[in-house]
Homo-oligomer: A and B are copies of this chain.
Amino acid sequence: MYSVSVDNLIFGCRDGVLEIFLIQHAHGPASGKWGLPGDWIKDGESLEEAALRTLSTRTGITDIFLEQLHTFSSIDRHPEERVITTAYYTLIRPQDFATMAGSHELDARWFSVNQLPPLMYDHQHILQRGLLKLRQKVRHEPIGFNLLPAKFTLAELQKIYEAVLNIKLNKPNFRRKMLNMNLLIDCLEKQTGQAHRAASLYRFDQSIYNDLKTRGFVFEL
């Protein structure tokens, strides 16, 4: 026999570094170890609903980008029983998120994806796969905006891409590419409170993207 669970890869970005939210188990075979926040599936809910539940009970966030990554089913991935788990990934702003450990958890916090603690079970493997998927996805769908406030500058947006993809981008070319997509709305406002020229603020509107998509537009890089 087997049990079915979900695990969430919750990505965030701070100070130009891509981070992931992890929890530390208090009980069970992985006691003291860090891992992905997840839960058993309940009667009457789909896997998507279970993943959203584990996310929203911690953050209050609803209506967020959340996508299935993969289902992991190796016989021996859990030391005590057979657990089939479906992993989901999402992108949020750490600032919007009151991090707190659940009742069965010692601790909960963000880690840079470049400096991870040892992870329980096959969670390291799941994370690697999630990173790969995220880096593909972020280039082909406008999901990076989930890591930013509603209004943002082009420089902030560029930093997100540089952090997620772990590459350096050329500023003038990035600007043009983004603006030529006609995807961003100019807020007609300027940044305030910095010691140099203020940048224009833009915002992303999902319905504009949907509109463009029906006309054959494909987001790229």
Per DSSP, are chain A's interface residues mostly helix, strand or loop, or mixed? loop
Q: Would A4 and B84 count as touching, CB distance under 8 A? A: yes
A1 and B43 in contact (CB under 8 A), knowing A48-B73, A73-B48?
Answer: yes
A residues adjacent to B (C-beta < 8 A): 1-2, 4, 41, 43-48, 68, 70-71, 73-75, 82, 84, 86
Contact of A47 among B1, B44, B84 (CB under 8 A): B84
Given contacts A2-B41, A46-B73, 6 further A-B contacts (CB under 8 A): A4-B4, A46-B75, A47-B71, A47-B84, A48-B73, A68-B70
Closest residue of chain B to A47, judged by CB? B73
Identity of the chain B residue whose Cβ is nearest the Cβ of A136 in the assembled complex? B140
Beta-carbon nearest neighbor of A74 in chain B: B46
Please name all residues of chain B whose beta carbon is closer than 8 Å to the beta carbon of A44 when the two chains form the complex: 75
Given the complex of chains A and B, what is the CA–CA distance between A45 and B82 in angstroms? Answer: 10
> How far in angstroms is the closest Cβ of chain B from A215?
18
